[in-house]
Amino acid sequence: MTVQSFSNVVLDSLEHTEISSVAKNMPSHTSKVTCKDGYKSDAMLFVDENFAQNAPQRETSLSALSFKPVVRFCSSHYRYVSDTTGKKRIVQVGVGIDEHLDGLGFREPPSVRVNQGAANFTPHNVV
């Protein structure tokens, strides 16, 4: 999966000039979506089309957010884990396209084709 660089910049005030100066350096990465090893589409940052009405969208590299997929931050997507060696880290859960719900065993429902096949070719007396 593409490395995601987070930009947790805290600003004292929301001045246009400060936002612009911060925005010059971000976003520097993009996140793959809906493909193998990518994120689910609902885990991505949704950028409103009205964002184009703002100067930062037009003048800084923040405009990339409108077109390049970037994973959004939601605290429920992260889990703080400690492995057997005592190393602690934060992992993302439940946002991968081919990730099953952690341990619960839920899977995507079988395709329509499989259902049809089962209905057509499974002999009744077998069941």
Partner 1 sequence: MFGDFEDSGTVDALFRLCSDMALEYDMPDLPSWILDVRMDFIIGTEAESGSEGGLKEEVQKVIPALAKLEEKIMIDAGLSESKAGSSDDGGGGSVHCVCLARLLLGACCEAYAILKCNRICHSGIRPTGLHANMKMKIIYKDSCHAAVWVSAHAQYLHDILHVGMNVSRPSLHTIKSELNENDLSELFSRRLAGKNGVNNDAACMLSLLTRCTNPGSRGWDSILSTSLEESDGTKRLCAEALAVSITGMHSCIHPASRLHWKKRLGLIIHLSEKSLLNSVTFLCRNPIAFKEMIRRLVCNTVSSSYASNDALQKLEHPVALLAGNIQRLCPDGVELASIAFAAAGKEIVRSRGSMSIEQALENTVKFDQQDNGAALKVAGQRAIQWSPAYLGKGSSSIHSKVAAATVASNIFAVAFRCNFIPFWAHCASNDLRASRLNKTQHNALHEMNAATKLTMHLTLQEQLEIQRIALKLPSSGRMTLEDVGKLFGLEGVRGSSCNGGSKSITDAVNTIGAAGAKGAAIILHFCRVAAISEDILIYDLGKRTYDMQLRAIIKRSLVGQLESNSKKSTEDLLKVIPEHTKHLCACVECKRVCNAIATDGGSKWSSSFNEIGTSGSMISTDPQSSNVHLRCAKRPSTSIKTAIAFEEEMDTRMIEADECKDYAVRSMLQTYNDNSGIAPRVRRDAKSSLEQRECSIACGQDAMLSIPIVGKAIRLWENWYALCSFCGCFMRFHQSNRFEAELCCMRCDNSMLGDKSNEDNKKPKESSNAPACRYCGKVCTS
Binding site for partner 1 (CB under 8 A): 2, 14, 30-35, 38, 41-44, 46-50, 52-55, 58-59, 63, 66-69, 72-76, 79, 93-94, 101-104, 110-111, 113-115, 117-123, 126
In contact, 39 and 74? CB cutoff 8 Å: no
* Shortest distance (Å) from residue 120 CB to partner 1: 7
* Shortest distance (Å) from residue 99 CB to partner 1: 11
The nearer residue to partner 1, 2 or 21, going by C-beta atoms, is: 2
- The secondary structure element, H or E, covering residue 118 is helix 112-121
What is the CB-side half-sphere exposure of residue 121 using CA atoms within 13 A?
Answer: 6
